[in-house]
Amino acid sequence: MRVGRLSDVPRSVLIIEDDPRIRRILQMTLQREGLDAVEADSGETGLERLAERDFDVILLDLMLPGKDGFEVCREIRRTSNVPIIMVTARGDSHDVVAGLEAGADDYVSKPFVAKELSARIRALARRTRAPQPRVRIEVGDLEIAPQDGTVTRAGEPVNLTRTEFKLLCELATEPGRVLSREELLERVWGYDYFGDSRLVDVHVRRLRKKVEEDPGHPTVVTTVRGMGYRVPG
């Protein structure tokens, strides 16, 4: 299992987008921001590029000819935890949720502004906030090492994506405190305002599948109805 390099500043982005004009514009914009932007015109090409080298962030259009974005996303997730930003049709609720379920970390909707996109990329690539070095957090039989970016359950490593890991860390570093969806959006995804709370909900669902003994009756990350989520202290 490969993990994208942990760096505060993302260096490389893979753009999987079939529209050549958008691809070109994105590449130029991201390159201006100092990113190494690599283009791929289909899901298949994108997977090939990803097999050749690592990227810090992947930008994935959901509407692709041939292998569609959801399928590509699932395939990337089988081998990598690299942050994925999907590009969806605006307001297509179904696409957003399906894309997140397939393993995407965040999304932008067309038409989007390049600045919005680079803000998303930077936020995703950011390291988790680790207050003290070498701290280990224990929640039940889970052991979280924020510095190393690893989680073990009864000694067995648990494979989380970068975003799932950040989410778990935010909740676990303040056990007992309820974090609202808005707070989590700000801390994990870097949204100042107007975030989509579905991002949080779907990620919590994904996280539970990996860390809970019975995801139907969560004990690690619990829901506080109408308020948010917490890790019981």
Partner 1 sequence: MTATRSRPAAPLPADVEPIAAEPPAERRDRTGPLSTLRGRATLAFTVVTLVLSAALAVAVWVAVSQYLLLQRERSTLIQTSNNAAQVQRALGTEGLTVPQLLAQLPRETGSISLYVDDGQWGTTSLLVGRDDIPTGLAETVVEGTPARQRIGVQGTTMMAVGIPLAGLDQAYFEVFPLDELDRTYRVLATVLTLAVVGMGPLSFTVGWWVTGPALRPLQRIATAAEAIAGGDLSARIDPRGDPSLVPIASSFNRTVTDLEARVRADARFAADVSHELRSPLTAMLGAVDLVEATADRLPPDGREGLALLRSEVHRFERLVADLLEISRADAGNADLVVEEIRLAALVEETLARRRLAGRPTARLEVRATAAEVVIHADKRRLERVLSNLMDNADKHGGGLTAVTVARGEDSACVLVDDDGPGIPPEERARIFDRFARGGGSIRTRTEGAGLGLALVARHVQAMGGTVTVGESPSGGARFVVELPLQALS
Q: Which residues bind partner 1 (CB under 8 A)?
A: 19, 21-22, 25-26, 28-29, 32, 89-94, 110-115, 182, 192-194, 196-197, 226
How many C-beta neighbours within 10 Å does residue 69 have?
Answer: 26
- Which is nearer to partner 1, 19 or 54 (by Cβ)? 19
User: What's the min distance (Å) between Cβ of 45 and partner 1?
Assistant: 19
- Which is nearer to partner 1, 63 or 130 (by Cβ)? 63
C-alpha span between 152 and 159 (Å, rounded): 9
User: What's the min distance (Å) between Cβ of 200 and partner 1?
Assistant: 13
C-alpha span between 194 and 197 (Å, rounded): 9
- Which is nearer to partner 1, 57 or 211 (by Cβ)? 57
- Which is nearer to partner 1, 114 or 137 (by Cβ)? 114
How many C-beta neighbours within 10 Å does residue 45 have?
Answer: 17
Q: Half-sphere exposure of residue 159, counting CA atoms within 13 Å on the CB side?
A: 10
User: What's the min distance (Å) between Cβ of 218 and partner 1?
Assistant: 19
C-alpha span between 59 and 39 (Å, rounded): 10
User: What's the min distance (Å) between Cβ of 110 and partner 1?
Assistant: 4
- Which is nearer to partner 1, 27 or 147 (by Cβ)? 27
Tell me which residue has tokens 């579905």: 198
Phi-psi category of 228—alpha, beta or left, where left has phi over 0 and alpha has psi -120 to 50? left
DSSP state of 128: P
User: What's the min distance (Å) between Cβ of 20 and partner 1?
Assistant: 10
